[in-house]
Structure 1
Amino acid sequence: MNTLAQKDNPLAYEFFTGMPRRETRTLEDLFDNYGVRHQTLAKISDMGFTVNTLIRMTEQELDDVIQTMVENFHIELLFGERYGLKAAVRAEKKAIEDEAERQRTMSFSSKSEKKRRLEGGPLVALKEVGKKKQKRRRLKELGEDGEDRPREHPFIVSEPGDIVRGKKNGLDYLFDLYEQCGKFLEQCQQISKEKGEKCPMKVTNQVFRYAKYTGAGYINKPKMRHYVHCYALHCLDTEQSNAIRKVYKERGENVGAWRQACYLPLVSMARANGWDIEGLFNRNERLRIWYVPTKLRQLCHAERIKHGE
């Protein structure tokens, strides 16, 4: 189906994009009342971003765009603009999801009613209700396992030794999860040796499955991959890691801002090490079991090209 047919046919549009058709909006409409200045919107447009591009980005990708605007394009974003950009995109995604859910519910209700009328009897209605509950449960589980859905970080910025209470956890707890993963890896290696199978040398999906099997379901791949560079800084330069934690706690920054701040020291270390970020990981006893994050590799490559090295 060509582009024109997709544009004229709302059903085709939804099939190809996975989202219901909404009225075309401009960047000004998207960020209206979110404190984003016109000159900032002009820069975003000059960079080639559209409404459709932005609302299909993950939270991490949007963080990367903001970081690029500030560091590479030297765009001076106001403090509130950073949050306004993300809040506007998050709200638009929520509106699209709500509209899609409304349409699915209406379609489902129509089909269920028609089927009950044709087949009759209360048993059919009960089965339909049960299927609907199972579907909602599966969607919820998918969201918890890493689907692109806005949600609050489970951690807060804390200094070493801070006792964090309530529903959130401190960074000491986060780093302890990585230590636990190391122990689960050792157990997986021992089991593989006993079975005569190939031993995993790094924390792979096998280790995460084993952790879940033993009851450590709180250790999951998306979460551990998300903060692995923060743990790397903690292992390679604990003093600098603690200093950054202290500064960002005093500022009242959230864990997302702290996470972004952990990249720069690692890039500096890589430069001092001849841009061998892999070697930095492999030479550290606790860090060698983790893969170097793709984002960290990209930043090192960009800085290397920037300095002509």
Structure 2
Amino acid sequence: MPDATVPPRIACVTSTRLPELCEDDQPFLDELRLRGARAEPVVWDDPEVPWAEYDGVVVRSPWDYPDRPAEFLRWYDRVASVTRIHNSPAAVRGNQHKGYLADLWKADAPVIPTVVVDDPSEAVAVARAHKWDQAVLKPATGLGGRRVTLLTASGDGPPPVPHGPDGAQWCVQPFLPRIREEGELSLVYIDGRPSHAVLKQPSGRDIRVHEGHGGRHMPMEPTAELVDAGDAVLAATGTRDELFARVDVIRDHRGRLLLCELDVTSPCLYFCHRPQAAGDLAAATVARATVRAGATAG
């Protein structure tokens, strides 16, 4: 019979820039070890890593993947073929490219209108066609607010637009002014259940809420309205059974909560604002990995 007492070996995936995981994830690593797991940070593109020897692989901070999205997905499939990785390859493949926002918009889901273009120079024409006075241009594969630009559709000529990797696609969305007035709301899910929420506000006239761009983050109690919005997003995307998720929403001029982004690839989960959530994720991770560890031992 499988030996359920075998401590699972768990890899917490990161990048060469953050070889020991980001600071926010350190409590998660500690909580895994408190629960008896043999847990360690592992760089995703290290060719020497024996992935098959791990009972669980949890993707946390491989935040250089937007520069090599195709390579990252190939790596993901390789690891998934030899062990269990979180989140699932299907969820990550559907989430890594923000074109899923355009698909949800076409399906009349409560999401910020999104159009995918092949060249950032097309953004102003898209905004004018949809009568958006201002538009946000962002990489279709990206994170951390990098290369996010606010464009004005009026005027005689197109404003300057950012450059990205060759062949990269871009998303164009209307600018929602309430991001400056009220900020963005993030709802964190752990093991399919809402855990905690964070209010994120940009600095000054910026539109980016990321701390690296001067944004301010503060904890908040998840409201019923926010949970309903998050549940609807997970249901629409089939991601309710994933180990972790983060739903980011912004209010439009009517006061509706619209999806800005769903991250089931490698979201920051803001354990600094709810430390016990690191223990909740560790418990769920160990429970899923222990099944494989016991089966392997048996």
Shorter-chain TM band: under 0.3
In terms of fraction of residues, the more strand-rich structure is 2
The TM-score with structure 2 as length reference comes to 0.21
In terms of fraction of residues, the more helix-rich structure is 1
Relative contact order (C-alpha < 8 Å, sep 6+): which is higher?
Answer: 2
Q: Choose 1 or 2 for highest CA Rg.
A: 1
The TM-score with structure 1 as length reference comes to 0.20
